[in-house]
Structure 1
C-alpha cells in the first residue's frame, strides 16, 4: 500500500477535515506513520542516528552549539528543523530565489478551493489537488506589474505593495536620514532619495551627478532594454537522461481565473512573455492569494528544475559582505529594476519555460523567478559587470548593490564609475529602491555604518514582541530568530541551555521556570545589543574564551585606535 492510498479522493463530497485523516484502524495508523517517516527521510530530514559533528565552513555557521547538543544539530551546524527563513532573510550563505509568501494554513486547508479536493492528479472532478509545502519552493511567480507600478506611484513604504516581497527589504537606508529630490515635472515626476545630512557642496554635486545619469534608472518598463546578451543570457541545459514533461491543464477557481488572465495580458504587453505553439515542455500556473485579496500567479517549474543540472556559481558570504561594507563614511544603496526580468532567456531555451492556461500556451522571453539556477545566473552577471570594482568600492549580492567610500570626498567618483559601468551594459536601477549619500543603512538583515555593525531593530522588535514559546514549534521558531543574530549575543548557548534542552530527543516540551528565566535574560540583553566592529586588516586578533559545564563560548576582538577591545564576533 502506498502513501497516496490513505488520502481521500474527491469522487464524493466530504466535509473539510483541516488536514486530519480520520476513520483509520490501528493497523492503518501504524502503517501511515511508517510511510510518512519514510517520506521525511527521503526528503533529507535527519535520521535517528544523525549526530555527526561538522565544523562550519564560514564564521556565520557557528558550531559552538554542536559541542553540547550533537543530536539536535544538522549537517550545516544548525538546529534541525529551525526555520530556514527568518523574517524574510536567509540565515545561511545560500541565496533562495524570491518566492511568493505562502502562509501554512493556505496550503494545508482541505477546502481551499471551496470544494472537495483530491491529492492525486486526475482524482478530482472539480478542482486540482492541493500541493505539498515543498512544492512552493519550485514555483516561479509571474512578476506582478501592479506591485511594481504601485511602488513608483506611492511614497508610502508601508503600503501593501511595498511589503509584498520580503526580498525587497534586503537593502535600504536608515529611516529618517533621507530627502526626496524630484528630477522630473509635475506630470511626470522623477524622484530619487539622497542623504539629508550632506553639506551644501556635497548635496549640489550629488544632484548634478544624478541628473547626468538619469538614463540608468528605469522609470517604466519601456526604459528597461535588458542586460547586454554578450554579458549574460539564462540558459537551460538538461541532464542527458531528461525527457520533456507536459503537465495537464489544471482547473482554476472562477474567482481567480480572470485575475490570472489579466496578469498574463500585462506580461504580454511589456514583452516578458510570448505566445508559443507545439512546446515540448509545459507547466501549470498556480495562483497564490495575497494579503490584499489579489492573486500572485506562479508557474510550477518542478519538472524542469529536476531535469536541469545545478549551477554551482557561488554567492557572497553574507557575513563577509557585511563586514566589508561597515566602517565606511558614506554609502549608496541600489537595487536592480524588476529583478531577474532584466536578463534575457537564451532564444533556444525560451520554449522550455512554456506554461499552459485556459487561453493558450506562453513562454518567457526574460528569466523568471523559480528556475533552479536563476540566482546563480544573476550573481554571475553581477560579478562579470563589477569584477574589478568588488571589494574595493562596490559590493554586490545578486540584484542588491552598494557603493562605499571611506573618505566622503571619494564617493562621487566611485558613484560615477559605477554609473558608467551599468550604462555600458544596460543594467537599470529601480529609483524607488535607491538611496545615495547616506551614512548608514540596512544590509541583508544588519545595520551597517561607519561605527560598525548592529542588529536590525526590526529583528530585535520581533523577538521582544514574542510571547514565551509553549510548543516545540514555537521553541524552534524562537531559537531560529536568535540564531540569525547569534554573532551579537555573548554566551548564547550557556544562557539558553534550558531552552535548547527542550529539543533533545525524548524530552517533553515543558516550559518551566528555568526556561522562562533564560527567555527573560535574552530579552533584557537585546534591549541594548552591542555594536560589532568589522575586522581591520593587519591588526592582531584577540580570542577570549568562556567555559562552563554545558557550553564553550568565545569572543573575537581587536584593539581600536584608542587601545580598547572592540568585539568582532561572539
Structure 2
C-alpha cells in the first residue's frame, strides 16, 4: 500500500490541522513508522509558512532536541501556533452551542466529532460528549433519546437515526437533502396520496410511544406504483425498498420494532378493523350492497359504520376531533351525554350503539407491556397510579379511589356502557367533574367516570400533551424493575384453558436494603447528629485553623483557571450554596488561589482550590497522625463495630479570623474567602486530627479509635457496644459535630477501615485492593513501578519476605539506573500479585503475653515474623543497607533481632 502524505502549509485552519493530524497518524500506522521518526516524517510534509515556522523551532531548540521531540509534544507545539486561543475559544463555543439542523443527523454527527477532537477539554469524559450530543438535538428527539437512558454514544447515534426517520415520516421534521432519485413520479404521487400515520412502540429503542407513519405503507405504495411503472415499460428495480428498516417476517413490510396490530380498513396501527371508526371506501360500500342483492338481502346503507364517534354518533372521526365537543368546549359547557343513552342494538349508526372501552391491566402487566405507559401522579392531591390508553373513550377512576377525591358525583343523563379488555361490560352512571391531574408540574382538568376497575386508579388517554406555549409535555411511564415477566390472572386462565403447562411457586417480597435511622437501636435517639446538611457555621471550638507563614512571605495571587461552560454553571451553583450556608464571604484579600473541578465517581463535580502556592510558604504543622498498625492493635478481642464518618469534617472547624484572608480564592464570579477550614491546605489533616484527639480523649484507645474524620467504635459484646455507642453519640452531640448517615455503619460484625477488613477473626486485605492488584498491568516506567510498590507496600505486613521479593523492582526506581524490565522483574511482579491475592488473615494480639518473634537474615535482607499462640500477628522485612552487606552472618542475625524489636514493642 502506498503512503501518500498530506502537506500542511499553516493556512488550512483548525479543521485542516486536524485532518493533517489524522492523515499523518494513518500513514504512521500503515508504514509502521517508529515513534522516534514520526516528527521527522511529519516535518517533511510541512510547506510554506508551516515549514518556515518549524525551521525556526529547530534553530531555537537545536537539531538533537527537535528530533527527540515526541509526536504528542510536536502536535501540541503546532496546535499552539496554528490553532490560537481565540480560535479554540470559537470552536469550543461552537461545540457547546451546536444544534442539529432539520433532520441532517449525518452532518450533525460529523461536525460534532470534528469539534470533539479539536476541543478535548469539552469532550472528556465520554459522559460529557454524550451530554453535548443530546443537548443539540431537536426538542422532541432530545426527549425521546433522553428517555432511553443509554450511556454509549454509538447506540445513542443509532437511536437518533431511528427517531429522526420516524419524525421525517410523520412530517414532524423536514426530509433530508438528498441528491439521489428515490422513486419515479408515479410512485411519489402514490405515496403522497396515501399518507398515513400510526402509533407504535419501538422496544429496541426504549423511548416510549411515538407517532410515526407506518413503514409498511410506504412499501405498499412503492409496490403499487412499481406494477404501474412496469406496465409502462419501467424496470422492476424501481419498486424495491431501499431504506434501512428490516423486513418483518410477520407482515412482510419493512419497519423497526415489534409488529403491532394494523387495521385492514384504514391502515393505521393500534386497533383492528372491528374497532375502526373510519368510514368505508365508497367502492367497498358498493361491493357490499351488490353482494347483499345477490344473496337476496335488502341493501343496508352504511353497513359496518357502527363504530362511530362516541360524542355525536357520526362516522369518519373520533371523539377527540368531534365538532360538537369542540363547540361545547368553546361555550364552557360540560359534554352532553344524551347520545350515550340513546343506544340501540340494531347495528345501525343512527344510534350510538358503540360501547366505550377501557384498557384494564394489572401493574405488572402494564410495566412489562412495551405499548403501555404508566406513572404515579397526584390527582386532587392524592397519589394515584395512572395508565395512559390512547384507545379509551373516557377517563375512568376506580370506585374505591373516587371516594378520596372529595368531589360529589354528578349523574349522567344516560348511562355509559363500558367494555373491559376481557369483553365484559359495566355501566357508569356518574361523572366527577373538574378533577385536577398534576403531571410533573402541569395541572390539567379532567372528568372521571367512577367504575369498578382493577389495580389501577385512573385510565387516561394522553401521553404527549400540548401546552399553550407551543411545547409539549412528555410523560415517562414506570418501567419494570424485574427480569421476571408478570401476567394478569385473566391471561393465566386463558393459557391454562389452552393446555399450557403450569407450575406452582412461592413468591415473597425481598427485604428493602435501604437503611433507616429509626430502625437502628441507640442511633435513632440521636437523629440530630445525622442531618442532611450542615446547619451553618460551626461553633468556636478549642482549636481553630490557623495559617502560619514563613518569615518574609508575601501575598500570592494567581489568575483563575479557564473553565468549560458546564463547569462555570457548576461553579456558580456551588458558590451560591457555600454563601447560603455561610461558609464563604466576599473578599478583598491580596491573596488568591485559582479554582478547578474534579469529577467524582457519581458523575458530579467537586470544587477544589489550588492552594499549592500558599502551601509552599506555610510553616508545616508537625502534629503526628496515628500509625495504622498501632490503631489495629487496639482492636484485640473486639467483635462488634460501628463506623462513623463525619459530614464534610473540615467544614466543621472555623478558620482563625486573622487568617481568613489567606484562604481567598478567585473565580469568574468574584473573590471569596473561607470562614471554615477548606480542603487542600497543607496543615488541615493535622489540625483536624488534633481536634478529634482532644474531643475523644476520655475514650481514646478504650473503645474508640480515630483517624482524621473516621471514628471506629469497637466492643467485645453487644451490651458493651450499646453503652459505648451511646457515649460517642452523646459526645458528638455535645461538641456539635455532625456525621453523614449514608456513610456510617452500625452494629456490624465486620468493618472496612483504612483499606483493611477487620472482624473477630483478625485483619484481612481489602478485596477491592486485591482486585486492583490482580488486574494491574506490568509497569512500563519507573513511576508506574513506584505506584505499584506503593499499593503492595501498604500491605507488606501480610507478605512474608516482602523485601526479598520486591528487590528486583526497587532497583528500577533508583537514580541513574536504566529501566529494563526483564525476567527477574516479571517474576517478582507476578509473585507479589499472587502473594497479595492469597494473603493470610493476621490475628489481632490478645493481651501482652505469649509473643514469639522469628528472625532470619541473608545477604538479600532481613525478615521476621511476630506470632502469638501459634497465630501470625504480622510480617516485617527490609533490604540491607550498603554497609550492612559487609557484616558477618552472626551480626546479620543479631541485626534482624534488633530490627524486629524496634518495630514490635508488644
TM-score for both structures, normalised by structure 1: 0.62
Check the 8 A contact 2:593/2:609 in 1, yes or no: yes
CA contact (8 A) 1:227 1:425 kept: no
Q: CA–CA distance in 1 between the matches of 2:873 and 2:844?
A: 9
1:182 is matched with 516
The reply to whether residue 217 of structure 1 matches residue 545 of structure 2 is no
What is the CA-CA distance between 1:498 and the residue it aligns to?
Answer: 3.8
Deviations 1:329-372 (A, max 9, x none): 11100100122111122233322222222222111121110112
CA gap of 1:521–1:426, structure 2 versus 1, over 3 A, is same
Q: 2:339 maps to what in 1?
A: none
In 2, Cα distance between equivalents of 1:351 and 1:257: 24
Correspondence 1:313 to 2:623 = yes
TM-superposed CA distance for 1:519, in Å, is: 3.4
Alpha-carbon distance in 2 for matches of 1:246, 1:523? 46
Taking only aligned residues, the RMSD between alpha carbons, in angstroms, comes to: 3.9
Counterparts of 1:271 and 1:127, CA distance in 2: 38
- Paired residue secondary structure (2:874): strand
| In 1, Cα distance between equivalents of 2:782 and 2:727 | 52
- Which whole-Å CA distance do the structure 2 matches of 1:29 and 1:444 have between them? 52
Tell me what 1:466 maps to: 776
- 1:466/1:423 CA distance change after superposition, 3 Å: same
Structure 1 unaligned blocks of 5 or more: 1-11, 33-104, 118-122, 129-159, 161-177, 185-191, 193-206
Q: Corresponding residue for 1:477? A: 787
Where do residues 145-294 of structure 1 align in structure 2 (5 Å cutoff)? 180-183=514-517, 207-221=520-534, 224-276=535-587, 278-288=588-598
CA distance in 2, matches of 1:238, 1:544: 48
| Structure 2 residue corresponding to 1:390, chosen from 700, 710, 719 | 700
Q: Output the CA distance in 2 between the equivalents of 1:255 and 1:302.
A: 25
User: Secondary structure of the residue that 2:825 maps to in structure 1?
Assistant: helix
List per-residue Cα deviations over 1:522-568 (Å, max 9, x = no partner): 33333431111233342143221233442321112222xxxx34333
Partner of residue 339, structure 1 = 649
Describe the SS at the equivalent of 1:375.
helix
Cα separation, 1, equivalents of 2:618 and 2:832: 45
* Cα distance change of structure 1 residues 253 and 111 upon mapping to structure 2, 3 Å threshold: farther
Report if aligned partners of 1:535, 1:568 keep a CA contact under 8 Å in 2: no
1:27 Cα offset (Å): 8.3
**Structure 2: distance between partners of 1:342 and 1:427:** 7
Instruction: List per-residue Cα deviations over 1:98-136 (Å, max 9, x = no partner).
Output: xxxxxxx9xx99869x9749xxxxx988999xxxxxxxx
Separation (CA, whole Å) in 1 of partners of 2:601 and 2:641: 34
Aligned to 1:526: 836
1:149 equivalent in structure 2: none
What per-residue deviation string (whole Å, max 9, x for no partner) do you get for residues 201-237 of structure 1? xxxxxx342221111112223xx34543132322223
State how 1:64-213 maps to structure 2 within 5 Å.
116=80, 180-183=514-517, 207-213=520-526
| 1:369 counterpart = 2:675 | no
- The answer as to whether partners of 1:322 and 1:443 remain within 8 angstroms in 2 is no
3-state SS of 2:641 partner: strand
Task: Return 5+ residue gaps in structure 2 as ranges.
Answer: 1-12, 22-35, 40-53, 67-71, 90-150, 152-511, 877-906
SS of the aligned residue for 1:283 comes to coil
Provide the aligned length of Structure 1 versus Structure 2.
404
Report the Cα distance in structure 2 between the residues aligned to 1:26 and 1:247, rounded to whole angstroms: 29
The 1:518–1:217 alpha-carbon spacing in structure 2 relative to 1, beyond 3 Å, is same
Deviation at 1:376, TM superposition (A): 1.4
**Structure 1 residues 28 and 382, CA, compared in 2 at 3 Å: closer, same or farther?**
farther
Query: In structure 1, what is the equivalent of residue 872 of structure 2?
Result: 566
Seen in structure 2, the aligned counterparts of structure 1 residues 365 and 505 have a Cα distance that, compared at 3 Å, is closer
Pick 1 or 2: higher relative contact order, CA cutoff 8 A, min separation 6: 1
1:420 and 1:231 map into 2 onto residues whose CA distance is 18
State how far apart, in whole Å, the 2-side matches of 1:480 and 1:442 are: 20
Distance across 2 between alignment mates of 1:263 and 1:115: 34
Alignment partners' CA distance in 1, 2:87 and 2:621: 39
Residue 419 of structure 1 corresponds to 729
* More helix, by proportion: 2
- Kindly indicate whether residue 759 of structure 2 is the aligned counterpart of residue 449 of structure 1: yes
Secondary structure, counterpart of 2:594 in structure 1: strand
When normalised by structure 2's length, the TM-score is: 0.40
Q: Which moved more, 1:422-431 or 1:546-555?
A: 546-555
Indicate the residue corresponding to 2:350 in structure 1: none
* Cα 1:127–1:372 shift into 2, 3 Å: farther
- 1:385 shift after superposition: 0.5
Correspondent of 2:662 among 352, 356, 373: 352
Seen in structure 2, the aligned counterparts of structure 1 residues 346 and 179 have a Cα distance that, compared at 3 Å, is same
Q: Given that residues 274 and 362 in structure 1 are in contact (C-alpha distance below 8 angstroms), is that contact kept between their aligned partners in structure 2?
A: yes
Deviates most, 391-400 or 371-380: 371-380
Deviations 1:393-427 (A, max 9, x none): 11111100011112332111111111111111100
Residues 478 and 115 (structure 1 numbering): CA distance in 2 closer, same or farther, change over 3 Å?
same
Classify the secondary structure of the residue corresponding to 1:490: coil
Q: Does 1:378 align with 2:712?
A: no
CA distance in 1, matches of 2:650, 2:784: 35
CA contact (8 A) 1:498 1:514 kept: yes
In structure 2, C-alpha distance between the alignment counterparts of 1:476 and 1:294, rounded to whole Å: 30
| Structural mapping, 1:14-25, within 5 Å | 23=57
**d(CA) in 1 for partners of 2:814, 2:589:** 51
**Which residue number corresponds to residue 343 of structure 2?**
none
Give the distance between the partners of 2:528 and 2:74, measured in 1 at CA.
48
Q: Distance in 1 between matches of 2:773 and 2:641?
A: 28
Task: Give me the whole-angstrom Cα distance separating, in 2, the residues matched to 1:489 and 1:287.
Answer: 38
- Cα distance per residue 1:29-85 (max 9 Å; x no partner): 9999xxxxxxxxxxxxxxxxxxxxxxxxxxxxxxxxxxxxxxxxxxxxxxxxxxxxx
Cα distance change of structure 1 residues 250 and 329 upon mapping to structure 2, 3 Å threshold: closer
Q: Equivalents in 2 of 1:385, 1:408: separation in Å?
A: 25
- How far did 1:512 drift? 3.4
State the match for 1:301 in structure 2.
611
1:301 deviates by 1.9
